[in-house]
Amino acid sequence: MKTTNLQWMVLATVIVGTFLGRLDQTIVNLALPKMISDFGVTVSTGAWIATAYIIANAVFVPIWGKLGDTVGRKRVYILGFVMFIISSVFAGLAWNFGSMIFFRVIQAIASSADYPTAMAIIAVTFTDNKKRAQALGIWSSAFAASAVLGPLIGGPLIDLFNWRAIFLLNLPVGLIGLAMALAFINESVSEKKSYRFDWWGAVTLGVGLASLVLLLDKGNEWGWLSSNALISYFVITIFSALFYRIERDHDDAIVDFKFFKNSTFVTALTNNFIVFMGMMGSVFLIPIFAQTFLGMSATKAGYLFIPMAVGFMLSAPIGGRLIGRVKPSIIIFFSTIGAAIGIFLFSVLLDPRSGPWDIMIPLSIMAFSLGFAMAQRTSLITSSVPTAEVGVASSILALARNIAGAFGIAISSTLVTTLSNNKLMAIAQNSTIHATSALSVGQAIGLMELKAQVSAYATVFEISSMIVLVGAIAALWIKSNPNLYTKKDDQAESVIVLD
């Protein structure tokens, strides 16, 4: 097979893996109500099916990234794929809630191997920087495609069969992806081979991250000053300090802090964090608003995101083609401005009388705008470090996006609750109810609560748009990497071994 054809087959292979992992996460969220019912647990307990996955996924991304650079990206990618297939089958056969949580954690650990190794595989496969950028843009669209097909595939599977089918589906599709990986991906390892894995760094990072993600996920439910939250703050602080001390002096650190002396890496990472925090914080509220105030079912609310995914799929490859032709900071700036406008439109268009288009139009604007810069951001990160360390760098990017999303969701959910209460008190203080019957008084109080809640959502969307706007301004400080405008990657330090 010609080299060019092999490169695109490698891309198709990692797209299958990325798509499958993200599709599973989307479908499971749809199936949660029936899983909660079948296992006979409460909603808060059932939420651990999603929470445990998020925590395990966040913890293991940087560990897999380091292992991929050390022992081989193909080995780690295939190991993750095999673990994902096996754990999916067992999750589909789960006999009680405890077994489901166990296999979901294994699924998350396996799935977290995909992002850093897939990005590193693309980086070492496409040595031409412009083709690499195009490949990263196409790969990014797999995330959007999973958001489209999640509700389209998951809804019918759950309704026609049951929730177990969404896990068992991963077996045939996973075997196809595994066969492709074995056939097309060439092994690559970093010349900076590690001879001792940083286990203490992995443990301290894992404990600190698990505590942080748990706090962000449960903080609003617990109370941010509750005993559980205070314990989490303490654990996060102690283990973060231990992690920094270990990594600072370790020759083969999981997170190499020298990356943070690289201005291109730092500014691109900062923009990613800010934008993902604002975007995830607002997107998180959309299905809640649609189901709570517009009376939509979960499946119908999921369909609202189809235009968003299409917008990503259309603009991400175009953005990849612009790399090397237009200064990245300019594209990221205008892309982020467009996303901020899309988010702001929610605060204008959404009320209890809104229709589907009042949600889909802002989502489309936001997604189409962000898509242009997806490959730009990723390419800036991968081109600002030696190819030998792309796995570690990409795992830091994935980690930053995960934490940013968790921060955004935590901030948005807390603000909605707090603002709803504050606005209700303000409305009540400035309102007079001219009614005598209990029914009329109840209706008036209900209307005041509705007005307060809708106004709180609008305010949160405004705040989210301002956060994303800050990300746009931060983009102006991103320095372009000269390697983006050269044909070959002069920083290549990987050894590629043909199978």
CA dist 376 and 374 (Å) reads 5
CATH of residue 493: 1.20.1250.20
Q: Compute the average pLDDT of residues 44-58.
A: 75
Neighbours of 79 (CB within 10 A): 18
Q: Contact, 87 vs 106, CB < 8 A?
A: yes
Residue in 93, 77, 113 with CA at minimum distance from that of residue 170 = 93
What is each CA distance from 361 to 290, 306, 308, in whole angstroms? 14, 11, 9
Q: Compute the average pLDDT of residues 307-327.
A: 79
Calculate ∠ Cα 274-277-278, nearest 5°.
90
Q: What DSSP state is assigned to residue 479?
A: P
Q: Contact, 9 vs 180, CB < 8 A?
A: yes
Q: Is residue 225 part of a domain?
A: no
Longest dimension (CA), the chain: 84
Calculate ∠ Cα 255-56-267, nearest 5°.
40
At residue 436 the predicted structure's pLDDT band, cuts being 50, 70 and 90, is: low
Q: According to the model, what pLDDT value does residue 362 have?
A: 92
Q: According to the model, what pLDDT value does residue 310 have?
A: 82
Q: Is residue 335 part of a domain?
A: yes
Neighbours of 158 (CB within 10 A): 20
Q: According to the model, what pLDDT value does residue 279 have?
A: 85
Q: Is residue 16 part of a domain?
A: yes
Per-residue pLDDT tens digits for 243-260: 888 877 777 677 777 777
CA dist 235 and 226 (Å) reads 14
Q: Is residue 409 part of a domain?
A: yes
Q: According to the model, what pLDDT value does residue 155 have?
A: 73
Q: According to the model, what pLDDT value does residue 138 have?
A: 77
Q: Is residue 476 part of a domain?
A: yes
Tokens at 339, concatenated = 């996303």
Q: Contact, 381 vs 265, CB < 8 A?
A: yes
What is each CA distance from 9 to 130, 135, 476, in whole angstroms? 17, 11, 36
Question: Could you give the 3-state DSSP secondary structure of residue 326?
Answer: strand
Q: Is residue 209 part of a domain?
A: no
Neighbours of 2 (CB within 10 A): 7
Q: Is residue 226 part of a domain?
A: no
At residue 28 the predicted structure's pLDDT band, cuts being 50, 70 and 90, is: confident
Among 5-14, 114-123, 193-202, 490-499, the minimum mean pLDDT is found in: 490-499
At residue 87 the predicted structure's pLDDT band, cuts being 50, 70 and 90, is: very high
Pairing of strands 494-497, 187-190: antiparallel
Among 82-96, 237-251, 483-497, the minimum mean pLDDT is found in: 483-497
CA dist 447 and 426 (Å) reads 14
pLDDT at residue 227 greater than cutoff 60: yes
Q: According to the model, what pLDDT value does residue 342 have?
A: 93
Number of domain units in the chain: 1
What range does the domain containing 402 cover?
Answer: 3-198+250-497
Q: Is residue 147 part of a domain?
A: yes
At residue 499 the predicted structure's pLDDT band, cuts being 50, 70 and 90, is: very low
Q: pLDDT: is 392 or 366 the higher one?
A: 366
Torsional sign, CA 469, 471, 472, 476: positive
CA dist 448 and 451 (Å) reads 5
Q: According to the model, what pLDDT value does residue 197 have?
A: 66
